[in-house]
Structure formats: structure tokens, C-alpha cells
Chains A and B, each alone.
Chain A
Amino acid sequence: MADALVSPDIRAGRLTADDYLENFDDLHPPLGVHEARVEADRCYFCYDAPCTIACPTSIDIPKFIRQISTGNPLGSAKTIFEQNILGGMCARVCPTETLCEEACVRNLAEDKPVAIGLLQRHATDTYFERDEKHPYERAASTGKHVAVVGGGPAGLACAHALARQGHDVTIFEARPKLGGLSEFGIAAYKTTNDFAQDEVDFVLSIGGISVECNKALGRDITLEALRRDHDAVFLGVGLAGVNALRAEGEDLAGVIDAVAYIADLRQASDLSTLPIGRKVVVIGGGMTAIDIAVQAKRLGAEEVTIAYRRDREAMKASAYEQEVALTNGVVIRECLAPRRLIGEAGHVRAIELERVVADSSGRLAGTGETVTLEADQVFKAIGQTFVPDGLGGADALRLDGGRIDVDADRRTSLPDVWAGGDCIEGGEDLTVAAVEDGKIAAAAIHAALSA
């Protein structure tokens, strides 16, 4: 009988209002002016600096740090923006521990890199706080028009660079607002106070960029039409699809796509309205898995377990991010692959996982040993896929490995179409890499339109 079942423990408002504020406040509080000066003084101003080489956007890190140290934070911010117009967001979300900070020579000296990410945030925040005017002026209008599809980091970076060169740009965005993963995907405590929208406004303030939201490729617009109406097209559409668990019971209620849940969380004006389970299991090993696990915990989930099919070493989430999860009380279980979701009255109640081992070539094989974890909610964070809608068929735009094939200039198989960000083959699932794609494509588009 249905009423004899104990219903799953999923509730909104598990915490007090103060708890929500505290739990979703800045994960890494910004440096004060004095802290920034002292930290900046740790930079050795290296020759041919390894940090700059490690930065996908090649920010001149020693220069911007020196500018903080000399009391010139606005100049510092401009040094950052020169290479990365989304330097403010990258300062918040970059896995610096595997990029610039991993390359810092201070690691060799004392195992403690200069806090480059926090310094970058200090400089860019100062710029935003002082309400400076846009740092660049547009070149004279070229009369050329470029369509940018997707208002995420790749699209914004591309649009900005093109607008700066004097081209007119229209950004078509499927969602109701711009920002892409900065707005809908990044964990809330990494980008507080609506920074993503402030940054979008900052990017657009160069002028010459018009925005059309709620315009999805394949639904409202087609590549064919965009090519006809514009001098060039940039595709920065991201990954709209979600990988399936391919486990029995995947359609049970309570089995949730982590990306969608995080988007809801980011858009929620009141976090106490978000229902979260008492026992939560997250399947996956990347940044999304960490983000949903930590945020679930911070929404009040009692037990949160990440189950990953390989060992922690193999997780795409950095050791540092794993550490964040662990210090938030998340349990990480390795070498467990989902086999079966066990439901009751149409709702998930537990997940059965099989212990797997990898052979020397990395192929996983089941051991037959199973583990069953009770779960009120199971979040799927096992990667996303490119959805090639509205591209005019596979013949028109060449794909590679299920994503858009591009050359070094981010040019696709179509001569007037470029692409970047997560939707291209080799896309790195990094904001900073998407920005670099947008930059490279913009330079190539500008060259092509100027020829």
C-alpha cells in the first residue's frame, strides 16, 4: 500500500536563513588591499614567466602582480583584460592549482605558490568596484557583421574582441540571459553577488554588440540563415546534452541531472526553496560532481557521497577541488560503477554500484562485488554531450568525436564559420580555455573580414 511506504526524505528549507547566507558566501574571500600588497610582494617577477606560459589566455601575470604591488590596481586590471576580458570570472573559477599557480616557481622554493587567482580577483574587483568606464574604445565601424551563437565565455570573449575591432556583433542566446556556464553552471559560492551578470554588462559596455536571448540554434535560428545574413558566424553553443548512466532505473524520480539542478540553484532567488535529499549520491568525477556534491551538502543534505568509477587520481576534478569536497564533509568513494537504481513507488531509494578494476590499458572490468548506497536523490554528473541541432546536417559542418572540428584558428569546415568553447573537439571544459578560443577565433575572423 502506498501509504505504508516511508516517503523519500527530500525537503526544501533544511537550514536557517543565516545558514544559507553563510554556506553560499564567497568560498575564497577576496584579499584586502594590504593582503594583496603583501601577497604581490611574493611574486619574483620571473623572466619568461612560467605562470604566463601556463595561462591559456597568456595573461602577463608578473606585470599585473607588480602593478598591484606598486599601488596601481586599475592598471593591473587592464593588463588582465588585455588578454582575458573575462579575467574577473576566471579569477574565481580557474583551477589555478593546475594552471598558473602550479607553474609558479615558488612551488620549488617553498611549496606555496603566489596566490595568483586571488590577486587577479583583487585587481579585477577593484576595477569593477570603482565603476571604471570600459577600458577600450571601439575602432571605427567596419560595416561588417558577425553572428555569435551562445552567450557563454567563448561567445562573450569573441563578441568583445570583434566589437573592439569595429565589427558589429549580434549574440544569439538560447537562455533568457547571457553568461553561459558562468551564469548557470559555476558553483554559487564561487561567483557571488551576481558577478556573472556584472561581467556580462562590462563586456557589452564596449558597444557594438546586440543581444538576442531565447534564440536557440535549431529551434529559432539555423546556421544556414545566420551565414546568409552575416559576414561570419561564431559558434559557442556549449554542450546541451547530458550523458546517460545506462543503468537500470535511470528514469526513477529523484534521479537528477546535476547540470540542470545547478542551473536552478544559480537562478534561485531563495535557496530555501530548493528541495534537497537527506542522503545524496553523486555519480561522476569532474568539476560538476564536486560542485553538486558540495552545494548539496551546503543546502543541508546530511550524507553526500560521490561515487566514481576510477580512482581519485583519475578524477577530472583537481586534487584541490577534491580537498574542497572532503573538507565540506563529502565522502568520495572510488572504483564504483552504477549498475542499478532501486526505486520504491517510482522514486529512487538506493543505488547499487559494482566495484570495478582497471586493467593495464585502463579498461574497466566488473568484479561482481556490489555496494548499495541509500539515496533520496541521485545526481548524474557524468559529462555532457554536444547536440548538433540546427547546423544543417553533418555534411555541412564537420564533426570530430561528436563535437565541432576546428583548425588552430578555430575555423570549422565551413569557411565563414568559427567555433570555440566546450562544443569543439578538444574543448577543455574550462572557462579560461573558452575565452582563449573566442579570442583566437575573433582574431581570425577579423583577419578574414579585413582581407
Chain B
Amino acid sequence: MADLSTNFLGIKSPNPFWLASAPPTDKEYNVVRAFKAGWGGVVWKTLGEDPAVVNVNGPRYGAVHGRDRNVIGFNNIELITDRPLEVNLREIKQVKRDWPDRALVVSLMVPCEEQNWIDILRRVEETEADGVELNFGCPHGMSERGMGSAVGQVPEYIKMVTRWCKQNTRMPVIVKLTPNITDIRNPARAAHAGGADAVSLINTINSIVSVDLDQMAPNPTIDGRGAHGGYCGPAVKPIALNMVAEIARDPQMRGLPISGIGGVTDWRDAAEFMALGAGTVQVCTAAMVYGFRVVEDMIDGLSDWMDEKGYTSVDQFVGRAVPNVTDWQQLNLNYVVKARIDQDACIQCGRCHIACEDTSHQAITAMKDGLRHFEVIDEECVGCNLCVSVCPVEDCITMEHIAEGTDPRTGKPINPDYANWTTHPNNPNRVQDAAE
């Protein structure tokens, strides 16, 4: 079995699976259950100042369901912990003492005054927690009070608060970023500039999960009205992966540790975040939907995959996909592929045909010699992958690389050399050939 242990900013955990700061980590009871189940670490639910915040007494969660009520996306309007600070700190101290091999990071959110941060950092240090995570992410409720994403949306504030924290604690400081911005690199660079030891992302996305068409109000509805919440779960994973990759490949932030968050539901999701540079992953929705036991297969699955690939420690694959993340203009325009339909695997549903016919390039037949038959017309196929995406049979349609000869669509010979948009003749801003 591969070694799954991680050392993130000096914080050690037996595996990279941490529970994110969220309802599952609000109390000793839950956290102890999580550790018993096998979670490598937790980020304790965000602490604020007393008096504690209050939550709504109506529904605070909403979901986007698949047909079988599987939760595809999840949304919440819960605030930070609504328990007294003292109680949380006492429990944190106890849990850290009882579970010394697990990572225990404390999430924090207080008003943007240096003294407020100094005060809470001192209290947290006394618990001997492993580190702090600054919650600059929550997009609902707290942001209206100038905290959470209201900070995370202003790089100067991020830098300022991060610096205060770094100057006032020996604990590692992780800055949790909001995705509700235009370019994730700006807040991340600000955290980096403020001295953050790491960033974690993404926090939840501003969202209205659905509209109750009878009440004519957003869900979850409280007394006839609803407010936007924070969206998470499997639906947000692609957004999170991109943001993690953007930071991982940014030259200004090279080497900045990342804790990946956003729709991690199984070991493969975790491996993907880690391949894009995340040293640990944080999970919330999967645990809230299925319970803590989901970590068992996260551990098994990641370990088995690592064994299969010959990785003996997580460091060996963290960030391995980062060099292959590039910009569109760097993609090889001479690389030609055509769709290929495996006729033995094809179940004749015709979805590839109608998708291509109605919405793309008219490159798949519906009939051949009077019989129902789906086949790619190379003269029309641009290799767009739509058919692969809509085909219900895995691996029935694949993309074949045409390495030589002529592209039947363009009639031009295949150029085996790499060439991208920056040098393309159609690009008015192309890099001019020295000979021209």
C-alpha cells in the first residue's frame, strides 16, 4: 500500500483527505466521529467573535438533484459557527490532544481590524491547533457585514489581513479564497504577497439553487423569501479545478502550497486536484450527503491507484499535470483528430448523429445502404468531441490522431510539426517569421 501521509506546511496527516470548514466540523462530537472514520484532518468550522452569530430557523440547504435524487449540486445559507467561542476553543484543544496524528486547522473570520485578529489568534494558539485558515470566502450573510467574501473580493484587504496574521502568530496561515471574482490569480497573489503559507480554494459560489414556482421565491425559502447561498458539490468541481490550476501554474506564485476544495466526492476527484497542484484536499458535500464513511474508499481508491501507477508517496504526483495546463494559443493547431465509432460497441441510439447534425458539423451518418448506421464522415469531422461527450457508451467513440497524409476535411497535408496560433497566418498579431 502506498504511503498516503502528507506534510502540508509542516502539518502532518495520515492521508490528504481533510474535512473542510463547514457544518461537519462544528463540534467535537462530529470531528471525533470523522477521525474515527479515518479522515486525515479537519478544518474546524469558522470561529468568529462573541456574541455568536445566529442562523435562520428555517431551511438553510438546497440541492440540485439528478433524476434519482442524487445530489449534483448543493447550496447553503448557514453562517459561521453559532456556538460560543469558548466552547469551540475548549473542544478544539481536547480533540487535538486526543488525536495528535491528525491535522487540525482552525478557520477564522473576524472584522477587519488588526486587534480583532490578534485577539483571536492568541486564543487559537492556546489550543495547540496546527494552523489557521482565514475565511475570505463565504459569500452569504457574513459578506454583508464586511467579512468573508467581502474581504476575498478585494486583494488589498486580503494582503493586509494576511500580513496581520503572519505577524501575530507562529501558526501556519492558510488563506481560503472565494471564487466569486473575475480572476482567481489576483486574490491568490495578494495572499501570497501578504505572506500566506498556503491558499485553499474554492469556497462556495454565489447561487440560487432553484426557484419555487408556486411561492415564486428562491429555494430554500424562508417565510416566502429566499437569499442567495453558496454553491458546492460535484457541480462546482470543474470550476475549482481550473482555479487551482491557474494558481499552480502562475509564475508569481510558484511553489505556493494549495489545499484543493470543490466537489471532491471520491479518490479520483482528489487525485485530479492533487495532479493540478493541491497538496491536500478538503471535502464537505460528499460527507454531508453520505456520511463520514465515504473516506474509506477515498483512502483505498487513492492507494490502489498509486500502487497501480507506481507512486509510493503523494509528493510524486502532486502537481504532475500542471506543466500540461496551458493557454489556448499554445495548443498545437497542426494536431488533427477524427472521431471513430466502434461499430461493435455502438448501440445505435443515434445521439452522436443528431447532435452533430443539428448543432455541429453534419459529420455522422444516420444510414448506410438503407440501414441504420452511424459512421463518421472524415470530410466533415473537425474532431470536436461532441459525439464522444453525448455517446452513452463509454469508449464507443474515440478520437483518432491523424499523424500523416492529408486531412480529408481541409484537403491539406498533415503537418507533423507543432504550430500554434501565435504564428498562424490568420493571426494579425502573429509572431513574424524572421525571413519575412
Binding site for B on A (CB under 8 A): 34, 37-38, 40-41, 44-50, 69, 105-106, 108-109
- Would B392 and A48 count as touching, CB distance under 8 A? no
Residues of A within 8 A of B351 (CB): 44-47
A-B contact pairs, 20 of them (CB 8 A): A34-B69, A37-B67, A38-B68, A40-B67, A41-B66, A44-B347, A44-B392, A45-B351, A46-B348, A46-B349, A46-B351, A47-B349, A47-B351, A50-B372, A105-B347, A105-B348, A105-B349, A108-B348, A109-B347, A109-B393
Q: Which residues of B contact A45 (CB under 8 A)?
A: 351
- Whether A106 pairs with B347 at a CB distance below 8 angstroms is yes
Q: A105-B349, A108-B347, A109-B392 known; A47 and B354 CB under 8 Å?
A: yes
Residues of A within 8 A of B349 (CB): 44, 46-47, 105
User: Which of chain B's residues have a CB closer than 8 A to the CB of A41?
Assistant: 66-68
Given contacts A109-B392, A109-B393, contact A46 B67 (CB under 8 A): no
Which residues from A are CB-within-8-Å of B392? 44, 109
CA of A108 to CA of B372, assembled, Å:
14
Encode B321-334 as 1/0 by CB contact (under 8 A) with A.
00000000000000
Chain B residues positioned under 8 Å from A50 (CB to CB): 348, 372
| B163 part of interface (Cβ distance < 8 Å) | no
Interface check B102, CB cutoff 8 A: no
Mark each residue of chain B from 344 to 357: 1 if its CB lies under 8 Å from any CB of chain A, else 0: 00011111011000
A37 to B66, CA, bound (A): 10
Q: Assess the A48–B366 pair: CB atoms within 8 A.
A: yes
Contact with A along B52-93 (1 / 0, CB 8 A): 000000000000001111000000000000000000000000
> Distance in Å from the Cβ of B326 to the closest Cβ of chain A?
35
A394 to chain B, nearest CB (A): 41
How far does the Cβ of A173 sit from chain B's closest Cβ, in whole Å?
A: 42
Q: Which B-chain residue is minimally distant from A42 (CB atoms)?
A: B67
Most chain A CB inside 10 Å of its own CB: which residue of B349, B350, B354 = B349
Closest 6 CB pairs of A and B: A47-B350, A41-B67, A47-B354, A108-B347, A105-B347, A46-B349
User: Bound state CA distance, A125 and B69, in angstroms?
Assistant: 23
Contact of A48 among B67, B68, B372, B393 (CB under 8 A): B372
**With the chains together, A38 CA to B69 CA distance in Å?**
9
- For A106, what are the chain B residues with a Cβ–Cβ distance below 8 Å? 347
Q: Which residues of A contact B66 (CB under 8 A)?
A: 41
B392 to chain A, nearest CB (A): 5
What CA separation (Å) do A37 and B349 show in the bound complex?
20
User: Do residues A69 and B348 form an inter-chain contact, with CB atoms below 8 A?
Assistant: no
Given A47-B366, A105-B348, is A38 in contact with B372 using a C-beta cutoff of 8 Å? Answer: no
Chain B residues, CB < 8 A from A40: 67
Query: How far apart are A104's CB and chain B's nearest CB, in angstroms?
Result: 9
CB-based contact A69/B350 at 8 Å: no
Task: Kindly state the separation between the CA atoms of A105 and B396 in the bound complex, as whole angstroms.
Answer: 14
User: By the criterion CB–CB under 8 Å, are A38 and B67 in contact?
Assistant: yes
> Taking the nearest CB of chain B, how far is it from the CB of A323, in angstroms?
24
Complex Cα distance, B366 from A40, in Å, reads: 24
Residue of A nearest to B353 (CB): A47
Interface residues of B in 335-370 (CB under 8 A from A): 347-351, 353-354, 366
Q: How far is the CA of A420 from the CA of B67 in the complex (A)?
A: 41
Residue of B at shortest CB range from A39? B67
Interface centre among B69, B348, B351 (most CB of A within 10 A): B348
Q: How far is the CB of A86 from chain B (nearest CB, A)?
A: 28
**A45-B67 Cα distance, complex, nearest whole Å:** 15
From A68, which residue of chain B is reached at the shortest CB distance? B67
Query: 4 additional contacts, CB 8 Å, given A45-B351, A108-B347?
Result: A41-B66, A46-B351, A49-B350, A105-B349
List CB contacts (< 8 Å) of B364-407 with chain A: 366, 372, 392-393
Give the chain B neighbours of A44 by CB distance below 8 A.
347, 349, 351, 392
A36: nearest chain-B partner, CB-CB: B67
What residues of A have a CB within 8 angstroms of the CB of B68 in the complex? 37-38, 41
Q: How far is it, in angstroms, between the C-alpha of A234 and the C-alpha of B354 when the chains are bound? A: 41
A45 to B392, CA, bound (A): 11
Contacts of A105 in B (CB 8 A): 347-349
**Cα distance A69–B354 in the bound complex, in angstroms:** 20
In the bound complex, what is the Cα–Cα distance between A106 and B67 (angstroms)?
A: 18
